[in-house]
Every structure is written in C-alpha cells, then in structure tokens.
Structure 1
Amino acid sequence: MLLGSLHRLNCRRTLLLLIPCLVLPFMSQAATAKEPVKLIFDTDLGDDIDDAMALATIHALQSRGECELLAVTIVKDNELSGPAADAINTFYGRPDIPVGVVKKGVRPQESRFTGSLTNTKNGDKQRYPHTLLSGNDAPEATEVLRKTLVAQPDHSVVIAQVGYMTNLARLLNSPPDKISPLNGRDLVAKKVKLLSIMAGNFGPAKNKPEFNVVQDLASSKKLLTDWPTPVVISGYEIGLNIRYPWQSVEKDFGYVKHHPVHESYLAWDKKPHERPTWDLTSVLYAVRPDHGYFGLSDPGTSTVDDRKLTQFEFDPEGLHRYLTVTPEQIIRVREALVQLTSQPPDVLPEQ
C-alpha cells in the first residue's frame, strides 16, 4: 500500500513537472501567433479629454504587445495640439513616434488642457517633457500619413480616426509624389486594412448632427464616399453610454505625482464627472476587434445628407458597419477601458 502510494505520488510529481514543458510552447505560440496591430491615430487632441485618454489606451495596448503606434496625426489646427501628443508619447516612453499636424485646418480654438501639458514647469524643467514645442514646427499630416503607409506591408495598417475628417480626406486627394508613385486613394487601398472612426449617430440621437462630421462637412462626405477599405463606425451613442468612472480618475493615476491624463481630465472640468468614452471605443475596436466588446451592424454605406445627418443604408456589398452595444458589453468595455487607460508606463518617468 505504501509503495503504491509513493509510486502514484512520484507519477503526479513527474506529470506536474512535465506540464510546463508541454504547455509553455503552446502558450508561446499562441502569444506570438498574432502580430501587433499596426496603428495610426488621427485625432483632434484638445477638443475633448477623450482624445488624451484614447492615446493613453493605445500606449497600454502597445505595452501589452497588441499594437504598434506608427504615427499620430493631429486634425486640430492649434499649435499646442501636436506638442501635447508628443508630451503624452514621451510620458509613456515613446518620444520618437512621428507627429504630423494639419495645416490651415478648420478649428484653431484653444484647448482647456493642452496648455497644461505643454507649458507647465516644475522649476526650470518641463513637467511633461517634449521636443515638439509648436505645431508650426511639425510636418504636415498628409506627408506623415503617406510616409507611414509606404513603409508598411500591404493591407496591414489600421487607422483609428477620432476627430473631424480633414486629414484623411486630404490623404485621399493627395497626388503621386516623391514618397510614392500612388495617389492617396490607391495608397490607402494598398496599405490599409481597416478604418475605425468615431462619427455619426445611429441611436436615439440619429436626428442630431454629430460634432466630428459637421466640423469639416466636405471632408466627411469625401471620406465616407471614397474610402476604399472596410470602415467601422463608433457612433455618438456608443461612447455616450459608456462613461469613464470618476472613481478611477481620482484613484488610479496616483502612481506618479503628475499624470498627463489625470491633470488633463481635471483641467477639462474639476467637478466630479464621467466623460463619455467616444474616442476610446474606436481605439478599442481598432486593436481588439475580436474580443466581443461590441456588436456590428450588417454591412452597408454611411453618407451625410443635406441636413448634416449621418445616414446608413444597408447593402450586402457595402464596406461600412457601425458598432452596437448591449448592457452586458457596456460593463465589459468600461472595465477594460479603466484598466488600459490607467495602466502605468513600462518605465515610470522621473518627476
């Protein structure tokens, strides 16, 4: 009896020792089987705080090996928007990510928070270090977009677009040049896999013009009509129904003395409030489309009518879909966004 028990115990120990050898190769294969999403982030950083939060989410996803942020292009024509993006990228340890800015854009208005990111100092040092001091010194967004796309494999790039559509419409209109012999539309068709945008209304507020669409109406119509790859749209109603919890703003960013998301959020509005996660939902879908966070409409085509309203016509051959969300998915998305947005950088910056 005793010998039999010892034999069984030794067998169990041997099996336990073998399990890591058997499992780890499969785990390693699973972890490396999926390449990081090659991501471009086109944003009106400065108009609302969710752009800064979405950029933080991207950095968390990159730290997890799920995406590679290739470039940030700014569609807000304010000289501090580009530097604010550079400051956030630098905070997360990625100061070399290219930043391009719109020239002669539609919204030069000052932001409530970009100045606090770019102009605040601790003594004689920048609180949030950045080398891009003015958008006037940054390359034009179309140039950055073309250079970034040319350098990537065919059909590999995902673009998360969370502002008005000036930069991407200009990309479509761009002619062949020294960067590429392809015009913009052909370059997009060759290099882009998916466009994930925050735009329009497909819920109860569908009879209300949506901010991103109406700021540059001509560009919105151009993009929705001519973009040659699949497009997934996160409508106004998605982010509105998934709000970032104030408790997280208060408690989850305290691992450093000064955090750009926390301070930007408070600069936006110091009163306790839960901002809609409009831009964050487009980023989350862009990088994790297969996690079941959202439903998808049937395919169709989205257009902008003469009332500035976003319409959707179902068509099996259409390239457009829009996100849907259930109460259960709202809970999952909210939790995921809290974890990602508040995730610390790989290396905490000195402060």
Structure 2
Amino acid sequence: MNVAALLICAALAAAAEPAAVPVPLIFDTDMGNDVDDALALAVIHALESRGEVKLLAVTITKDNRYAAPYVDLVNTFYGRGDVPIGVVRNGKTPEPNNMIRIPVERKNPDGSYVYPRRLMDGSNAPDAVAVLRRVLAAANDGSVVIVQVGFSTNLAALLAADPQLVARKVRLLSAMAGHFPLGAPEFNVKTDIPAAQKVFHEWPTPIVFSGFEIGQALLFPAARIEEDFSWVRDHPVAEAYRNYMRMPYDRPSWDLTAVLYAVRPGRNYFSVSPAGHVTVDEKGQTHFSADPSGRHRYLILGEEQKERTLETLILLASQPRDRAQ
C-alpha cells in the first residue's frame, strides 16, 4: 500500500471515531461571501451525524437577504431544519452572491422549491445577538464552543450586551481570522476592524486562530465536488460551489479548518503556537506576542499534516446525510 493510500485509510479511521460527548457548537458565519462557509457547515452536519457535535445555532454576519434562507435550506437538507438562525442587523457586505441566491431561488417545474426551508428571507430571522444570548443561557456552564468564520460583528455585540454570559458559558472560541505569525490584513478582520479589536482584546475565554495561511495551504479540489457529492442529484453545498466561481477551481479550506480544530483538537491535524496575545492594528493587521499567561494561540500546519488533514475535510464535507462514514 502506498503512502497516499495509508493516509486516506488513516483519515477514514479517524473520521469514524465518535467523540465521547458531542461538542455544543455555535457557528457564526458570513455565509455568502465565500464558498468555504458552505463547506464548513457541511462539515458540522457530518460531525453531528457522527455524534461529535450538537449544532446549537447559526448566526450570520453577512447582511444579505439570501444568507439566512441558504443556511436554513442546508440545515433542512441535512435533517436539522429546527436549528435556530440569527442575522446581524445593519451589518457588513450586503451585496448578493450567486452561491447563495441561486440555490435559494431554484424551483422545480411544479413551482416548489428544490431546497425546502422555513425562512424565505433574512428579514424573517431573529436578531443574531438575541439568538446567541438565548442559546448560551440554556447551555451548561463552560461547555459551548463558538466557531467564528466571518466578521467579529456579532460576537462584539454579544460582549457589549452580556460579557458575563460569555465568560460563564463559552469554553473556546475557534476563529478563522488573521494571518500568522505576521501577514497582510485578512478579510474577516479588516471588514470590521473595531469589532475584531474588541473581541480579541476582551473575549474572556481561550481563542484559537486559524489564520489565512492555514486554509490557503489546503485547497479543496473541484474534482472532488463532482465526484464525492454525487450521491444525491441536488446538493445545496455542491451547487453553491459551482455558482461561486466558474468551474473548475480549487478553493482554500479556510473556514473548514476552524471547525475541524474546534471539534477534534487532539487528532494532530494541526499544531498550535505557544500562548500569547493577538492584537489588531488600525489597518486590520493581526500581531501575535508570546506570553505564557495569554489566552490566544494560532494553528500551525506542518508539511506532514497537510494530506491527511485535507482528505479528512473532503470526506466530512461530502459525507452522505443518512449515514456516518
């Protein structure tokens, strides 16, 4: 058996091992700005089907009418249409994107939607901060993991509204944000710099950052979209991928990595930096300073980890909804 086959077998074996207790998880996303958000949501549903996660809510930082209906139809596609969804008010990036608009609007010949859902428009969804506060209040103390893969808008507003609730209920914030150890301003940070500054400075629990460089090193292959998602005729995540850019293209797995670490931190998909502090300057550039007392770390991806990590992400994102592989 060659090395590639051994790595795939290892990825499959690791994927099949359920967690002892499902991780209570909130997904905070700018769904509709890039297709990795859709793939990351698919990974979450695969992990829930494996008994590793309990998706408590999805909150959205993209202020566009199609974002919430798209999240809702993906959740419904995976049999979890009851997951609460909250949307930012007066937020960033209101512009539309075909990756969410086309699946939301697509209809069958009889006029029914190809992808059923509850929400017809983002304006019908409750406020994101209200959803966060309600879901956190109902959770066990020190139990919740939040995966933030968009702007810090919602979490900054949550901190302003109820910092004690965050400190009491959240165990970890896994954030796709920044560029480490030092790089150009990253999109999620520079789109709402004041919010990122507030969250990174005031967040009372540990934060692990998956920087731009991590997802950039793990390109999700277009060929696997066509091959591995073909178990169903109409797949809302594969459809989003095809409508985001002209096919074929391979896209970085930025947001997927934050999910994978949040749920499986001990599987050696990544290494982590020493403890320290991450700050954001006025241009949106992130800076890390080591400090043993700090609550911040960032992911490091070794060359020897890349193939197994990417194969695991592909297997999870494409997992059929009716079984755990």
Query: Do Structure 1 and Structure 2 share a fold, with TM-score over 0.5?
Result: yes
Task: State the match for 1:6 in structure 2.
Answer: none
Task: State the match for 2:127 in structure 1.
Answer: 140
> Matched residues, percent identical?
51
Task: State the match for 1:289 in structure 2.
Answer: 265
1:200 paired to 2:178: yes
1:336 to 312, 317, 320: 312
Letter in 2 for 1:46: G
Is the CA contact (8 Å cut-off) linking 2:88 and 2:127 kept in structure 1?
Answer: yes
Deviation by residue 1:224-283 (Cα, 9 ceiling, x = unmatched): 000000000000000000111222111111111111111111101132111000000000
Under a length normalisation based on structure 2, what TM-score does the superposition of the two structures give?
0.92
Task: State the match for 1:61 in structure 2.
Answer: 47
Task: State the match for 1:152 in structure 2.
Answer: 139
1:162 paired to 2:138: no
1:252 paired to 2:239: no
- Which aligned segments of 4 or more residues in structure 1 are displaced greater than 6 angstroms? none
2:116 to 102, 110, 129: 129
Task: State the match for 1:177 in structure 2.
Answer: none
Letter in 2 for 1:163: G
Distance in 1 of aligned mates of 2:24 and 2:228: 28
2:76 to 74, 82, 90: 90
Is the CA contact (8 Å cut-off) linking 2:222 and 2:247 kept in structure 1?
Answer: no
Is the CA contact (8 Å cut-off) linking 2:31 and 2:38 kept in structure 1?
Answer: yes
Task: State the match for 1:17 in structure 2.
Answer: none
What's the CA shift for 1:34? 1.7
Under a length normalisation based on structure 1, what TM-score does the superposition of the two structures give?
0.85
Task: State the match for 1:78 in structure 2.
Answer: 64
Map 1:1-351 to 2 at 5 A: 34-123=20-109, 124-174=111-161, 184-203=162-181, 206-346=182-322
Unaligned runs of 5+ in 2: 1-16
- Taking only aligned residues, the RMSD between alpha carbons, in angstroms, comes to 1.2
Distance in 1 of aligned mates of 2:322 and 2:254: 26
What's the CA shift for 1:293? 0.5
Change (3 A) 1:33 1:286: closer
Letter in 2 for 1:257: R
Distance in 1 of aligned mates of 2:208 and 2:105: 36
Distance in 2 of aligned mates of 1:154 and 1:207: 36
Is the CA contact (8 Å cut-off) linking 2:174 and 2:261 kept in structure 1?
Answer: yes
The secondary structure found in structure 2 opposite 1:229 is coil
Is the CA contact (8 Å cut-off) linking 2:38 and 2:237 kept in structure 1?
Answer: yes
Letter in 2 for 1:133: M
Higher relative contact order (CA 8 A, sep 6+): 2
What's the CA shift for 1:306? 2.7
Distance in 2 of aligned mates of 1:122 and 1:307: 47
Letter in 2 for 1:299: A
Distance in 2 of aligned mates of 1:320 and 1:38: 21
Deviation by residue 1:25-60 (Cα, 9 ceiling, x = unmatched): xxxxxx887210000000000000000000000000
Distance in 2 of aligned mates of 1:259 and 1:32: 25
Distance in 1 of aligned mates of 2:46 and 2:159: 30
The secondary structure found in structure 1 opposite 2:89 is coil
Distance in 2 of aligned mates of 1:227 and 1:316: 17
Deviation by residue 1:299-345 (Cα, 9 ceiling, x = unmatched): 00000113321000100000000000111211111010111000011
Distance in 1 of aligned mates of 2:116 and 2:212: 33
Distance in 1 of aligned mates of 2:126 and 2:157: 14
Task: State the match for 2:9 in structure 1.
Answer: none
Distance in 1 of aligned mates of 2:215 and 2:265: 16
Letter in 2 for 1:232: V
What is the number of residues matched between the two proteins? 306
Change (3 A) 1:236 1:127: same
Distance in 2 of aligned mates of 1:220 and 1:104: 17
